[in-house]
Amino acid sequence: MRPPLDLSLYLVTDTRLCGDRGVAATVAAAVKGGVTAVQLREPDADARTLCALGQAIQAELAGTGVPLIVNDRLDVAVRLDADGVHLGQRDLSPTTARRRLGPHAYIGLSVSRPGQLAHVPDAVDHLGVGPVFEQSTKPDADAPLGLGGLARIVQESPLPCVAIGGIGVSQAAAVKASGAAGIAVISAICGQPDPEASARSLIRTLRQEVPA
């Protein structure tokens, strides 16, 4: 049996925000800082570009135990032999993804309102819940849930939830207090000058640790 996915600090990649440092180097630094899972998300990239980027990330993740999850693109996840896939409500069925990827893959599903919980297939392992706050990296995202909406979904969900959307150091503790298993971030790491330090700061906040 595969171990449960550690959702504590879930990094979602963004080529534009990573800038000249590049995605693979950003991921490597962030993992040193405590990131527990990485999602390859580049919605405008073609399959060849995604696979090349995924391979570069996999090289950085080798030996760390941190899994690589591919956003939306089951075909890319299969070609990379990735650790899993994350799907939106309008993407292909998680049941189809499970059939293609097998029993050891991690399959996540995005949820933005409580009513969607009734339609989560058994193939899903965890939920990405959000956006929690206003955010700028996904223009077509639903309206923010707020902490109250997040807490309601977390309470009603039979699966662990990772919160996403506008979350940084100043929001991390309150989000964790809602009962979420962890936080997913993009700009809070990819858009920062020191991804490793940013990840460490987020982890300390989530664990309510005081810097030495």
Which residues are known catalytic residues? 41, 110, 138
Q: Taking a C-beta distance cutoff of 8 angstroms, is the pair 48, 69 a contact? A: no
- Evaluate the CA torsion angle 61, 39, 200, 23 in order and state its sign: positive
Joined together, the tokens standing for residue 12 give 């979602």
Picking from 137, 160, 135, the residue whose alpha carbon sits closest to that of residue 145 is 135
Q: For 48-73, give the secondary structure using H, E and C.
A: HHHHHHHHHHHHHHCCCCCCEEEECC
Which residue blocks in 84-145 are alpha helix, DSSP H?
94-101
